[in-house]
Chains A and B, each alone.
Chain A
């Protein structure tokens, strides 16, 4: 069990560019979450997958954001036309599926800087 992995760990981009982040959850974890963390704040929920189905999206997830989990394994988060306000740490978490809400295990995060 290698834990949740995220790639890249750091990304610097210019305003207006598109970026894509990848998350590989712990194997056999059905649930996958994306959170965003800005400096000095706690993580904020963005979206959630159960297997390949995206079941909830936060109001924070504007039209420029899209997330996928095509085969119910890894997930990608794409930000189109990046803005300086998108600069943040993007965290992925996974948890197993059971009859109640299981503990979420977090990856190391992808730190995005938009210039």
Chain B
């Protein structure tokens, strides 16, 4: 079945770049997403990339997509303490209803 894998934890210093990685098994998703979740809150859409793109840049965020390796990454430039949160990679499942399949989430810790 569909599977999305992420590393569980990343720690960086304030001002450094953060790179969060994700691999997935089902390549049929038209869009691939990154969501952010702060403690006790719902999911906030950060950015997404269309499957026919290799890269998308949005201010401090850069998304890279390697379809051959089924690998998605999120780079956060100049990471701030406010970026500390859990980041989820998500792809559409192979059914025709648009349901999202999420990874376990990567906890980003930003040290001052």
Contact = CB atoms under 8 A, between A and B. Distances in A.
B88 A42 contact: yes
Interface string A67-106: 0000000000000000000000001010100001111111
A91 B44 CA distance: 12
A107 B90 CA distance: 16
Interface stretch (B59-67, B69-77, B96-104): B96-104
Given A101-B30, A101-B92, A103-B45, A95 B98 contact: yes
Nearest to B104: A42
Given A91-B43, A106-B42, A107-B42, A48 B98 contact: yes
B98 A101 contact: yes
B95 interface: yes
B33 A91 contact: no
A2 interface: no
A56 B97 contact: yes
Interface residues of A, number: 28
Contacts of B35: 106
Contacts of A21: none
B48 interface: yes
Interface in A3-32: 4, 6, 31
A4 B101 CA distance: 20
B42 A45 contact: no
Interface in B74-112: 88, 90, 92-93, 95, 97-105
A93 B100 CA distance: 10
B105 A42 contact: yes
A35 B42 CA distance: 11
A91 B102 CA distance: 13
A43 B31 contact: no
Interface of A: 4, 6, 31, 33, 35, 40-45, 48, 55-56, 91, 93, 95, 100-109, 111
Given A101-B98, A103-B33, A104-B98, 7 more contacts: A41-B105, A42-B102, A56-B95, A93-B100, A103-B45, A106-B43, A107-B42
